[in-house]
Amino acid sequence: MNEIVTKIEHDQTHCALAAKDFSSGAHPVWCLGCGDFGVLAALERGLVKHGRPPHEVVLVSGIGCSSRLPGYMSTYGFHGVHGRALAVASGLKLVRPDLDVIAVGGDGDGYSIGGNHFIHACRRNIDMLYVVMDNRVYGMTKGQPSPTTEPDWDCDIAPGGIGLRPFNPLAMAITAGANFVARAFAGDPNELADMIVEGLRWPGFALIEVLSPCITFRPEQAAWKKQVRPLPLSIERDRAAAAAEALADDGLGIGVLYRGERAPVVTPPQPQIAVADIEREFVIGRS
Ligand SMILES: Cc1ncc(C[n+]2csc(CCOP(=O)(O)OP(=O)(O)O)c2C)c(N)n1
Ligand code: SF4
């Protein structure tokens, strides 16, 4: 841990990159006040601290307001289909282990339609970072309950609430095998930026679950600013203790909950394929 902090400080001193180098310049179409702005700022700042240039980083997303994020950054990006960000990111990391791969998206994208990929990405423990912007609602499709929605949240599609116990992403990640598990708040981009650097550098699959308010369909989430507080414990290696801590948590504790020591999947260096060779395979009518 100390080694990681020292490396962060080292990079801050010597790195010539600036946050603007990671911006695509495109103007986000998010609602004013959406928590995803804080996550975007944190990713830009975190990648500056990390010190690798934009062309050595790839952001992969699914579909949703939050999944638009790769379009706002200058790294390589892949805006995929709903729930499939982790499948694409896993394949990419296996064939290009030299790149830093970051999957991003929402709670609907990652925990509902993409839930199976989430469990198995934790289990496979491929070395990458997954940032989930959790607003406990489907923002893009106008406010349906998601897997993390509180059971009594009243909305048009579920009057009186859905009455189901919410999914616990941190407990799920720890028990399925993720090696680094944390929760952050989008309203504190500097803390999140440091967590992003640590998650990127920690070997194996890292989950950062970000409380990212949907100010349009869940305006009451503006209160998160006053409700979030540091997690009581940060647990190293002891997976059972970390899972117990995650189950006891009320969903508003912020910090790194678990740092594991599982060895990540490592792939051997892959042969470089020239783009011209790939293009040749698509030429119609070649003999
Ligand atoms: C296969 C498929 N099913 C459903 C949809 C419709 N859809 C688009 S975004 C979305 C939910 C997004 O919610 P979330 O991932 O929580 O992201 P947010 O918009 O809240 O950031 C849904 C259901 C789709 N695009 N593709
Ligand atoms: S609908 Fe919600 S999640 Fe989507 S951009 Fe607006 S505030 Fe953000």
DSSP 8-state secondary structure symbol assigned to residue 113: I
Nearest CA to ligand 2 atom 6: 31
Residue 220 sits at φ, ψ, to 5 deg, of -65, -15
**pLDDT attached to residue 15:** 53
Ligand 2 centroid distance, CA of 28 (Å): 11
236 CA distance to ligand 1 centroid (A)? Answer: 34
Which long-range CB contacts under 8 A does 110-114 form with residues at least 24 apart? 110/62, 110/83, 110/85, 110/86, 111/146, 111/147, 111/148, 111/167, 111/169, 112/83, 112/146, 112/147, 113/62, 113/82, 113/83, 114/62, 114/82, 114/83, 114/84, 114/85, 114/86
Structure tokens at 127: 């070395």
The residue among 102, 139, 271 whose CA lies nearest residue 218 is 139
Cα–chain-centroid distance for residue 23?
18
CB atoms within 10 A of CB 166: 18
pLDDT, tens only, 168-218: 999 999 999 999 999 999 999 999 999 999 999 999 999 999 999 999 999
Ligand nearest to the CA of 69: 1
Ligand 1 lined by 169 (C-beta under 6 Å):
no
- In this structure, the residue with its CA closest to atom 2 of ligand 2 is 214
- Please write the tens of the pLDDT for every residue from 118-148: 999 999 999 999 999 999 999 999 999 999 9
Q: Residues with Cβ within 6 A of ligand 2?
A: 30-31, 34, 36, 65, 135, 139-140, 214-217
pLDDT, averaged in runs of 10, over the chain (287 residues): 42 71 98 98 98 98 98 97 98 94 98 98 97 98 97 95 96 98 98 98 98 98 98 94 96 97 85 87 78
- Residue of the nearest CA to atom 10 in ligand 1? 64
Residue from 67, 226, 174, 223 nearest 131 by CA: 67
